[in-house]
Amino acid sequence: MEPILFIIFGAIAVGGAIMVVTRKHPMSSALYLILTLFAVAALFVLRQAHFLAAIQVIVYAGAVMVLFIFVIMLINVPENKLPMERLTGLRLLGVVAAGFLILESAILARRFAMPAGSTADAGSVQAVGRALFTDYLLAFEITSVLLLAAVIGAIALAKRKI
Amino acid sequence: MIPLFDLGVAVARVAVFFAFVFGLVVVMTWVERKGAAYMQDRRGPNRARILGITLFGMFHPLADALKFLFKEDFIPDNAHRLFYQLAPMFALAPAILTMAVVPFGPPVTIAGKTISLQIADLNVGILYLFAVSGLAVYGVVLAGWSSNSKYPLLGGLRSSAQMISYEVSLGLSIMGILMVFQAIRLSEIVLGQGELLFGILPKWGVFVQPLGFVLFLTALYAEANRTPFDLPEGESELVAGYHTEYASFKFSMFMMAEYIHMVVGAAVIATLFFGGWQFPYLADKGFAFPGGLSVTVPAAGVLVLRIGSFIGKTLFFCWLYVWVRWTIPRFRYDQVMRLGWKVMLPLSLLNIFVTGLVLLLIDKGGF
């Protein structure tokens, strides 16, 4: 059952990602990106990382992408004025590089076994919470300070007078 | 792979919950009209009749359904056709999905097998609820934008800003509950509420988290776009807001989404703050009142009382939506934003802080 589901959701994720970069209308791209994020969340669930999957949907699909769509809505470029993007040499190079990346990860995946330890509840809310506040406390706190700085920076940039 | 019995149970569970929520949606459209009429000293729906029987206007939802099915399904010329068609689906699907984690009753044992009266008892529990309900905003935003018309666009913008703002308070306001009951699964939160507080009061969420309850209720109303937060469809300014350009069955999908949100929201309030399926002083064997008095109730009676208690609480909070709608006038938009960011957010953070402090003191034996 699990390999079948993995193939299904993996295909959706990759297909969605390809659609994101090839669609002409930004709204289509954004919606396909949401689809990809969902499929990745489903892959997390298959690896028993339930908490990560929920957070992925809440943060990326529920908040970040809403802001993207908000911006697309506000700019609202008419359909006939959307730029036609060409396949330039640099972009072709990107495709080649992506091919190498896939090849390399395939080789790496063959050489190293899947990390053990993804037992049934390793990805549960309790386990992740305990790990965050014990083993990874310093990294967790530094990240939160970084996010705070980003929030303050955004306000400072957006507001002329504080 | 999956035994046939379990599969049958799962299908039956989904079917029953589906029927319950959709049935309640139909009834709620009637309750809303009747409640409005009652509060405004009018008669309300009383015309629709079958064979001369009006049954207090109960046939109106039926007339509504027929009307929605047979009206012309119109697509405006300048609409973005694909997104315009997708938007009602984006609105309805998350609304239906949210009910999957709400426990309707205690686990039942039939023929040696334990069946939980909950579609999915997920490890992430309440987070699933937020994840899915957070997606409801896409339906509104897409509808507003794809209609390619100014009133829907304004309605869509308003609602997305409002829903993002109140989602923050909605999430933070239940942290207190999670801290008190030390659980994130809804089934465990309900079990925790079966205990007694100081030996007399049921340990319901509303008694241990009164501020959390008020904040959650307010944020929930804002999330469901219900009065006093129904600015996205403020008819006096925006005609009908984001669904101005929708007609026929697509419009009814938006309506259904709103009412399902109400029903599931009511069920979640009952689950988190009013003990879910817990009946006050009712244990597995029967009533056990403080003071030593106890009454034995057969197991089937206990089950009926518990499921009935959950349904009763849900119905009450469904009615509360109607009650509030026809009592409180709509906010102005800047008031909504100020309330969300400058009142609700600090209060919900304060609630978490105080809850943590009290729990720490209890833990250290200070109380």
pLDDT in tens, B264-289: 888 888 888 888 787 777 777 767 77
Q: Report the pLDDT averaged over residues B332-349.
A: 87
d(CA B99, CA B14): 10
Contact A57 B153 (CB under 8 A): no
Flag whether pLDDT at B143 surpasses 60. Answer: yes
Q: Residue ranges of the domains in chain A?
A: 1-78, 124-162
Q: Which residues of B touch A73 (CB under 8 A)?
A: 141, 144-145, 153, 156-157
Structure tokens at B166: 């109140």
| Size of chain A in residues | 162
**Which CATH class name applies to A1-78?**
mainly alpha
CB B116 within 8 A of CB A114: no
A65: closest chain B residue by CA = B138
Contact B131 A76 (CB under 8 A): no
Q: Which residues of A touch B130 (CB under 8 A)?
A: 54, 58, 62
CB B33 within 8 A of CB B60: yes
**Which residues, 6+ apart, have CB-to-CB distance to B132 below 8 Å?**
A57, B94, B97, B98
Model confidence, pTM: 0.82
Contact B164 A66 (CB under 8 A): yes
A128: closest chain B residue by CA = B124
Q: ∠ CA(B110), CA(B111), CA(B115), 5° rounding?
A: 35
CB B282 within 8 A of CB B305: yes
Flag whether pLDDT at B115 surpasses 80. Answer: no
**Confidence at B235, pLDDT banded by 50, 70, 90:** low
Flag whether pLDDT at B318 surpasses 70. Answer: yes
d(CA A105, CA A108): 5
At residue B10, the pLDDT reads: 80
Q: Which of B157, B285, B123, B272 is nearest to B204 (CA)?
A: B272
Measured between CB atoms, does B168 come within 8 Å of chain A?
no
Q: Which residues of A touch B137 (CB under 8 A)?
A: 62, 66
At residue A119, the pLDDT reads: 61
Contact B127 A121 (CB under 8 A): no
Q: Is B303 exposed, middle or buried (0-12, 13-18, 19+ CB in 10 A)?
A: middle
Among chain A, residues having any CB pair with chain B shorter than 8 Å are 1, 27-28, 31, 34, 50-51, 53-55, 57-58, 61-63, 66-67, 69-70, 72-74, 76, 79, 121, 124-125
d(CA B243, CA B84): 10
Q: Is B237 exposed, middle or buried (0-12, 13-18, 19+ CB in 10 A)?
A: middle
What is the per-residue pLDDT across B285-296, written as a single tens digit (0 to 9) for each?
A: 767 776 667 777
Flag whether pLDDT at B6 surpasses 80. Answer: no
To the nearest whole Å, the CA of B84 is away from the closest chain A CA by 12
> Average pLDDT of chain B?
81
Q: Is B121 left (phi over 0), alpha (psi -120 to 50) or beta?
A: beta
d(CA B42, CA B187): 42
> Average pLDDT of chain A?
84
Q: Which of B38, B24, B97 is nearest to B312 (CA)?
A: B24
Q: Which residues of B touch A34 (CB under 8 A)?
A: 138
To the nearest whole Å, the CA of B161 is away from the closest chain A CA by 9
Structure tokens at B182: 């030390």
**Confidence at B2, pLDDT banded by 50, 70, 90:** low
Per mean pLDDT, which range of A7-11, A82-86, B212-216, B326-330 is the poorest? A82-86
Flag whether pLDDT at B366 surpasses 60. Answer: no
d(CA A53, CA B128): 9
Mutate which: A69, A75, A118, A126, vs B, most B CBs within 10 A: A69
Measured between CB atoms, does B28 come within 8 Å of chain A?
no
Q: Residue ranges of the domains in chain B?
A: 4-365
Q: Report the pLDDT averaged over residues B202-216.
A: 84
Q: Report the pLDDT averaged over residues B230-245.
A: 71
Q: Which residue has the higher pLDDT, B54 or B168?
A: B168
Q: Report the pLDDT averaged over residues B163-173.
A: 84
Flag whether pLDDT at A89 surpasses 90. Answer: no
